[in-house]
Structure 1
Amino acid sequence: MLALKQYQQRCLDELSAYLTQVHASGDPDTTFYQQKKRTYQPFIGDPSSPFVCFKVPTGGGKTLLASHSVVRAFDQYLTERDQCGLVLWLVPSDAILTQTLKNLRDRRHPYREVLDHAFDSRVIIMEKNEALAIKPSDISDNICIVVTTLASIRRENTEGLKVYAQNGALMEHFRRLRSSEHLIKEGTTVVQSLANVIRLHRPLVILDEGHNAQTELSIEILKNLLPSCILEYTATPDSLSNILIEVLAVELKLEEMVKIPINLKNVASWRSAVEESKEKRDALEKLAKKEEATRGGAYIRPILLLQTEMEQEKEGKVHVKKIIEFLTENLKVPREQIAIKTGKEDELAAHDDILSPHCPLRYIVTCNALKEGWDCSFAYVLVSASNVGTSRFVEQVIGRILRLPYTKRRKTDELNESYVYTSSRRFNEAAKKVEQALVGQGYSKQDIKRADEDYEPPYQAKRLATDEEIALPVLLLHGEPLEFRDLIPEEFTLEKPKNMTVFLQDLETRRTKIDITEEGVKRLEEQSEKLAHLFRMENEQTLVQWLSHRVQEEPIAFADVVKFTGGIVTALLKTHTLKALYASKFALMNLLGQKVKEQLNEEAERQFRKALKKGDVTASRKDGWRCPDVLTLLHPEEARLKRHLFDRYDALNEAEREDVAKPLSEHPEVVWWFRNPAKGEGLFIQGYHPTRFFPDFIARTKNGAWWILEYKGEQLVGSADSDYKEEIGKFWSEICGKKFHFHMVTEANAKTVLEKMCK
């Protein structure tokens, strides 16, 4: 499967924490406030249904996050559904509907791989018209995802009426109704409609570009569907959105997802704008070829998007034919390098793989057909061959040029940025429209580099205090930079818990609210028939496979995980029925996952200490961390304190500022100091935990010593995390030598530590 970026993993972990707590408390409002310290806007249909938002800029992988979120929702919140049920995936347009259906149906696509892996390939993808014949078993035995637009299920149009109309094909869903209280009726008769099937199964709702669904009419439609949970994904949330998770544009840059900044240049004549944009595209292709040939770069063929005023020919307007003629006749572009993509003409359809080295395309001419549902990371340059009247021209297509090819930063800086050319006599007005459009994609005007202005990215910091090369050692294991996986030997195997009584007690505290007796499982009445059906399909082997897939960690062979899980399940079957274990499988999954991680961490620590004792852990500046000239920061602020190495630093809290940063800036022996970023380009120390440790501060003193400082508030002193960081930091300083010092700084000892720097 496609590996998640750090920010994506963070997003999903935050969602899991929220849904787990809501499942336990039944209160999405209080849980939201506890986690975000903001007021929650309850869903008007059912206040007990979580309704939360992912705020993710364009290019941040919203659909991949949505696919993973379906898994998290069924694992952490809808656990009583035994990983079967209905998902309603609502998209804003027909173009995105086509693209989403195509990707979710493709078993090789990352979105579908996520779902198939989590649900053992029991995944059915339907569009709305197919759902008009949906069978009960499609929902009771699978994750059934119906993808449609919100507009297509409105009563106000003919297509929408089909959702609410009597439908004999759906009769089986209503044969054994225990209650019709919440179903739509005509008189006293339940309407056998798709709308009622949806209400009957209380779907998980995925809202793609959810800001489009915040109108009064759209909210009313959502309310009528009786969703059990609503997850919204958008770059520009509405004021009513409950933003649980927010991704910053700079995080996408740090994780090599997008091409920012956007270089903006205005040329008064549309012909000159097209010509200059072509020259830029040609220059980028030369750079890409040079990097591929000399620096091992991947294949890139930059594409120029040209937006016209009109599709049809009209006097005085810049239309598609006029652009094609200018490209081919004036600029001598071969016609086979150009594709037209308009509402009536689609030459892109003839090119199955635009990223292929065999594809000749370098220019795409459009009016507005590329606004949604089309992505190509090779698109680097956008030109508007018309006077910019509104921001809509860019908002429709600007997202198409933001994605970084292969989600990997190039060695040539120009290939990590994107380019927009406008043709307007009033550049400031044009720039304002572009800025407005960029904000509509979740970015800001600070992500634009204007040709008429000096540009300093607000999220970047420049080195000022010294231009000397700064290098600090990293730990090596057997002469190679230490990685966590290097601490797990090939012969490592998982061991069954020695005390199964304690294991069982732990399991009991984690189980869902199910009454397990000797006779089997008691559940809510409406679940009992479905549960019995699923039990007939289950056996010990399928339960072991299901658990093993979910608790596997990268360094461990899957066969070993199966053996470990199987041994525990076999032991549990001596005291529990298979029904009871199956009913508790989510609690069992969480407990087994914890045990696997504990054993991994214990083995890593054991091997680390063993290697230390034998002298196999060393340090090297040659292979170590080198301080860059420019840093990318998540929460930059101007460095107002003296002697800071860069002109900006990541935001400091009051305690960090008063106890460490300010004293360092005034310390007579400090040459310079540095607020180390918590990720990305900062100094890290790898120990025997999976995650890297990024200390808070680095200082250089006049005697040539290096001081690495980690600050902890008094409430964190003595925690397992603090103790580990202090231990691993001291290991690092001892191995590196006398000139390298590490200290854990607190409010209580800050003065003492700083006094040591005078010696």
Structure 2
Amino acid sequence: MTTFAPKTYQSQVLDSVEAYFKACHELPSPSIAFTATTERLWGRGNTYNPLSGFPSDMPYFCLRVPTGGGKTWLAAKSVALVNTHLLRCEHSVILWLVPSKPIREQTLRALRDRQHPYHTALREAGPITVLDLEEAKSVTRATLDTSTTIIVATRQAFQVEEEECRKVYQSSGALMHHFDNVSPTQRDELLTEGEGADRITPYSLANVLRLRRPFVVVDEAHNNRTELAFDMLARFRPSGVMELTATPDLERTPSNVLHSVSAAELKAEEMIKLPVVLETEPNWQQCLADAIGRRDALHKLADDERRAGAAYLRPLVLIQSEPRRAGVDTLDFERVKNELITNHGIPASEIIVATSEEKGLEQIDADYKLGIADPACPVKFVITQKALAEGWDCPFAYILVSMASLHSATAVEQLLGRVLRQPGASHRQARALNQSYAFVVSRNFAETASALRDRLVAGAGFERREVNEFVTAAKAEQSRLDLEGHAGRVVVRPVAITLSEKPDLKSVPKQIRDKVSWDGKLNTLTISTPLTEDEAERLKASVKSETAAAAIVEAAEVSRTTAIEFFQTPAELGERFRIPQLALRIQGELALFDDPEELEYPWDLSRYDAAPTADDLSALGAGFKVSEGGEIDVDDVSGRVISRFLPDLQRDLGLVYQPENWDEIRLATWLCRNLPEQSLTHASKQAFVAAWLTDLLRRDDVTLARANLQKFLIRNRLEVRIRDLRKQAVSQAFQQTLFGEDAASRVGVTDEYAFEFHAQAYAPSRDYDGRFGHFDFRKHFYGRMGEFDSKEEFECACWLDIQAQQGSIQFWVRNLVRREGSSFFLQKADGRFYPDFLCQLPGKADKPGPILAVEYKGADRWLSAEDDRLIGGLWANLSEGRCRFVMVKDRRWDWIEEYLK
């Protein structure tokens, strides 16, 4: 079986999904739960947008994951969470929708393959069955009753004009047994045909789905999300909808983005190759030659690393040629292939063509066991025209070559997606092998860079602020013209020259006219935006005298050189920012303290009272009432009307998934097996669960049948109870280890374990948008800056930057929360503390100065932050003067000033 270790950001995505599902049951409605969950996770609650045509309180959310982030694996892993925490049942129906037939076939193969990580992730939900839509039309009741059933289909299959769609609603004798002994409540919810006495209820797959309340997974949800096919899903009475996409709709029909992963997070965890190093060249043959030279250099690096033990890697070039057009001279695939063979001596065996007519990729997959990644495969160049085959994976793609600028948005987005993926999701020693490359036939670098950034945003799911730093110029002279890449950190001084004649600006292209202006009174031409050499040549043709032409050429050179003043951040200047971390001495060796489970503590459930609490009994009572059709309409505390969606869903699932008549021992065994508490011995957990269940069943209003029906709710209550007890034990050990006598012998702050803010690994979930005011931050470590939680926190950042500009601080960073690779934290007993700001203080000679951590707390949260003050103070005290910590409230900047001396 293929092993697959999830990345930290993937675990965080799944944690967010679980938190939302739990909140759906704990709060009055899934919409309130969404806002509350995003508030708790990200510091600002997102507004919930109901999905048109569906119940307004149906759980509906989106996971935003850029290209290369593993969306399909996350979807497969989420199925167990759907069953356990949302539906609270052992088995379910998952309707898994994909954008096309090739993706459907690829998804079906992977989900069915027992060696594939997708299948392994699905198996966490228990027994599973994976079907296509045709197979689902004859699915048996036994299959649905005994396994979680995944039905993979395209969204187009549910368009009215499609034959597949019509068959979903047709009666079938093969499905008749699904409708035996349905209750009146269930029958009332089924679709019917005909009128009056002729009305019938068809034995259709649509009605089977209505009985089973499928959960819908929409892969690549951005593709035609508003089409009728999506609206028709409401007819199946879904239990919820989860979208996964790199580019969610945030305007027309806004998606509810529960968790957004950034490209910087993927880079930090070695999933994608960044930055994209861009080079433009007007001569297509030279552009191709440059790309070949880059590929050869990368191949040499890969071979060197392989000899040192790294995995096999053969860097590939993806070339986007022009389509053929009758009577027009184009750079089509034959011309490009001929150039490679004739002028560069590339063997024909190293080139394949992938177009609608040429099926080179399919042949490679047929000829080699590992496809194009097979060491025996000689291919180094793939020439395509529009787009590659959907779903085709290209693990070795490194270089994109576009023969005609970036004219075909879809093709460029798709090819970029192939190039960005890091082979084997593993970091390489050579920096050049951790980057992507783009060579484009173009005269205008800035325009091409802008178009490439647009493609990364529109197709790969990058944040607009991220792409500025993730597209960089290969050549220094081209970098100077990339003003967008230095957004907010560049000053362009207009260049004015006096001319003896008025230039004929109407004769030059609009893109050049937009960069200049003519003052007829002063006879001056002002260049407001840098001109390239080509643009200068075009502009000088607008005047007749050689003197005026020479003046224009000279002024244009000034406009793109000395007239541009760049402001570079400390990260861009190559400064290092390393923060010593807390380390724990384990068996005489120091190890990073990032998990309280590393502490030694007595943990035995037999020491605790194994009985349901009052809260447990209250929750179970409400659960029994819902499952038996009772009404719960108003929250006694708030007076708010509670959503009926989840209670009705629980009732429907209880009717269709009838539990077996288990005895007390079998129920206790099931509960133990489904309580994921790795820190306990099985015997300890089994004894606690058996005693807890026995105490519950002694109560007059709880029967074994009732408990069996609500075993998932009981499991959840037990999980909460055990987790709370473990927290108590951990807190005691944490207090003793870190703050007891001789704590210094057990804990240390060391440079051996230091967090480093890397130049391109800063990934805010939200950039600061100016909502608390505007300030020209000059000393922040990065060009981007994470959002602030309050106006006071923003003012604190302004104060720190002023001190930095005056020399008291070298530079500082807005620390982020829960962002792997971007966040410094101090481990606590029950979570992590992320200080708001980290400052590098000035050092002496070649020795860096101390690190100052600053946390701003509103007065209303001061008392609850005692444990943050304690761990921050401990970190500073154990650092031997290398670290300082201060917590501030009420704008007491003088408290910080004390630590700057």
Does residue 591 of structure 1 match 2:600? no
| Greater displacement, 451-460 / 40-49 | 451-460
Equivalent residues of 1:673, 1:700 under 8 A apart: yes
Structure 2 vs 1, CA of residues 457 and 134 (structure 1 numbering), >3 Å: closer, same or farther?
farther
- Paired residue secondary structure (1:233): strand
- Structure-to-structure mapping, 1:230-269, within 5 angstroms: 230-238=241-249, 239-245=252-258, 246-269=260-283
1: distance between equivalents of 2:310 and 2:330? 41
Question: 1:481 — aligned with what?
Answer: 591
Question: 1:753 — aligned with what?
Answer: 895
Equivalent residues of 2:93, 2:150 under 8 A apart: yes
Question: 1:19 — aligned with what?
Answer: 21
1: distance between equivalents of 2:336 and 2:680? 57
Equivalent residues of 2:812, 2:838 under 8 A apart: yes
Q: Residue 815 of structure 2: which of 674, 677, 683 is its match? A: 677
Question: 2:205 — aligned with what?
Answer: 194
Q: Residue 858 of structure 2: which of 694, 702, 713 is its match? A: 713
Report the CA distance between 1:535 and its aligned residue.
1.7
Structure 2 vs 1, CA of residues 732 and 657 (structure 1 numbering), >3 Å: closer, same or farther?
same
2: distance between equivalents of 1:194 and 1:466? 61
1: distance between equivalents of 2:406 and 2:577? 47
| Greater displacement, 607-616 / 151-160 | 607-616
1:483 is aligned with what amino acid? F
Q: Residue 308 of structure 1: which of 321, 324, 327 is its match? A: 321
Report the CA distance between 1:254 and its aligned residue.
3.0
- Structure-to-structure mapping, 1:491-570, within 5 angstroms: 493-496=603-606, 498-501=608-611, 503-511=612-620, 513-515=622-624, 530-532=656-658, 534-536=659-661, 540-541=665-666, 544-545=669-670, 547-553=672-678, 565=689, 568-569=692-693
| Cα RMSD (Å) | 3.9
| Greater displacement, 433-442 / 17-26 | 17-26
Structure 2 vs 1, CA of residues 692 and 114 (structure 1 numbering), >3 Å: closer, same or farther?
farther
- Paired residue secondary structure (2:270): coil
Report the CA distance between 1:92 and its aligned residue.
0.7
Question: 1:94 — aligned with what?
Answer: 101
Question: 2:795 — aligned with what?
Answer: 658
1: distance between equivalents of 2:129 and 2:408? 42
Structure 1: runs of 5 or more not aligned: none
Structure 2 vs 1, CA of residues 272 and 643 (structure 1 numbering), >3 Å: closer, same or farther?
closer
Measured against aligned partners, the alpha-carbon deviations of 1:722-742 in whole angstroms (never above 9, x if no partner) come to 222211122222222356432
Structure 2 vs 1, CA of residues 424 and 709 (structure 1 numbering), >3 Å: closer, same or farther?
closer
Question: 2:9 — aligned with what?
Answer: 7
Equivalent residues of 1:43, 1:49 under 8 A apart: no
Equivalent residues of 1:375, 1:400 under 8 A apart: yes
2: distance between equivalents of 1:252 and 1:436? 19
Question: 1:453 — aligned with what?
Answer: 479
Question: 2:495 — aligned with what?
Answer: none
Structure 2 vs 1, CA of residues 200 and 76 (structure 1 numbering), >3 Å: closer, same or farther?
same
Q: Residue 141 of structure 1: which of 146, 149, 152 is its match? A: 146
2:321 is aligned with what amino acid? T
Structure 2 vs 1, CA of residues 562 and 234 (structure 1 numbering), >3 Å: closer, same or farther?
same
2:841 is aligned with what amino acid? R
Structure 2 vs 1, CA of residues 601 and 665 (structure 1 numbering), >3 Å: closer, same or farther?
farther
Equivalent residues of 1:59, 1:258 under 8 A apart: yes
Does residue 169 of structure 1 match 2:165? no
Measured against aligned partners, the alpha-carbon deviations of 1:179-211 in whole angstroms (never above 9, x if no partner) come to 244414144012222222223322111111222
2:898 is aligned with what amino acid? K
Report the CA distance between 1:656 and its aligned residue.
1.8
Structure 2: runs of 5 or more not aligned: 39-44, 489-567, 631-649, 769-773
Equivalent residues of 2:624, 2:706 under 8 A apart: no
Report the CA distance between 1:625 and its aligned residue.
2.0
2: distance between equivalents of 1:185 and 1:497? 62
Q: Residue 700 of structure 1: which of 831, 841, 844 is its match? A: 841
2: distance between equivalents of 1:552 and 1:632? 33
Question: 2:414 — aligned with what?
Answer: 396
2: distance between equivalents of 1:740 and 1:388? 49
Question: 1:160 — aligned with what?
Answer: 165
Report the CA distance between 1:148 and its aligned residue.
0.5
Measured against aligned partners, the alpha-carbon deviations of 1:550-603 in whole angstroms (never above 9, x if no partner) come to 4234x5567765665566456656666543333333333333333444454444
Does residue 348 of structure 1 match 2:364? yes
Report the CA distance between 1:527 and its aligned residue.
5.2
| Greater displacement, 154-163 / 350-359 | 350-359
1:662 is aligned with what amino acid? W
Measured against aligned partners, the alpha-carbon deviations of 1:331-363 in whole angstroms (never above 9, x if no partner) come to 333444444444452123223324454554433
Structure 2 vs 1, CA of residues 525 and 267 (structure 1 numbering), >3 Å: closer, same or farther?
closer
1: distance between equivalents of 2:75 and 2:893? 49
| Greater displacement, 394-403 / 143-152 | 394-403
Report the CA distance between 1:311 and its aligned residue.
9.2
Structure 2 vs 1, CA of residues 360 and 165 (structure 1 numbering), >3 Å: closer, same or farther?
same
Structure 2 vs 1, CA of residues 521 and 31 (structure 1 numbering), >3 Å: closer, same or farther?
closer
Measured against aligned partners, the alpha-carbon deviations of 1:228-269 in whole angstroms (never above 9, x if no partner) come to 211122222232033232333333233332222222333344
2: distance between equivalents of 1:539 and 1:107? 34
Question: 1:729 — aligned with what?
Answer: 872
2: distance between equivalents of 1:526 and 1:736? 59
Give aligned pairs, total: 746
2: distance between equivalents of 1:411 and 1:306? 27
2: distance between equivalents of 1:126 and 1:701? 63
Equivalent residues of 1:116, 1:123 under 8 A apart: yes
Report the CA distance between 1:292 and its aligned residue.
4.3
Equivalent residues of 1:281, 1:302 under 8 A apart: yes
Equivalent residues of 1:516, 1:580 under 8 A apart: no
Measured against aligned partners, the alpha-carbon deviations of 1:299-321 in whole angstroms (never above 9, x if no partner) come to 43322223334599998455545
Structure 2 vs 1, CA of residues 288 and 500 (structure 1 numbering), >3 Å: closer, same or farther?
same
2:191 is aligned with what amino acid? L
2: distance between equivalents of 1:352 and 1:291? 24
2:223 is aligned with what amino acid? N
Report the CA distance between 1:49 and its aligned residue.
2.0
- Paired residue secondary structure (2:115): coil
Q: Which one has the largest radius of gyration?
A: 2
Question: 1:281 — aligned with what?
Answer: 295
Structure 2 vs 1, CA of residues 94 and 507 (structure 1 numbering), >3 Å: closer, same or farther?
same
Report the CA distance between 1:450 and its aligned residue.
4.2
Report the CA distance between 1:227 and its aligned residue.
1.9
Q: Residue 116 of structure 1: which of 112, 120, 123 is its match? A: 123
1: distance between equivalents of 2:755 and 2:24? 44
1: distance between equivalents of 2:843 and 2:275? 38
2:896 is aligned with what amino acid? L
Report the CA distance between 1:472 and its aligned residue.
3.6
Equivalent residues of 1:87, 1:203 under 8 A apart: yes
Equivalent residues of 1:482, 1:686 under 8 A apart: no
Measured against aligned partners, the alpha-carbon deviations of 1:408-456 in whole angstroms (never above 9, x if no partner) come to 3333322222122233566666555544432222124523224533465
Measured against aligned partners, the alpha-carbon deviations of 1:16-69 in whole angstroms (never above 9, x if no partner) come to 343333345563444445553436234323223233222322222222222233
What is the percentage of aligned positions where both structures have the same residue? 27
Does residue 210 of structure 1 match 2:195? no
Question: 2:633 — aligned with what?
Answer: none
Equivalent residues of 2:220, 2:245 under 8 A apart: yes
1: distance between equivalents of 2:83 and 2:328? 58
Structure 2 vs 1, CA of residues 393 and 485 (structure 1 numbering), >3 Å: closer, same or farther?
closer
Structure 2 vs 1, CA of residues 457 and 162 (structure 1 numbering), >3 Å: closer, same or farther?
farther
Equivalent residues of 1:487, 1:608 under 8 A apart: no
Q: Residue 616 of structure 1: which of 729, 733, 745 is its match? A: 745
2:888 is aligned with what amino acid? V
Query: TM-score, length-normalised on structure 1?
Result: 0.86
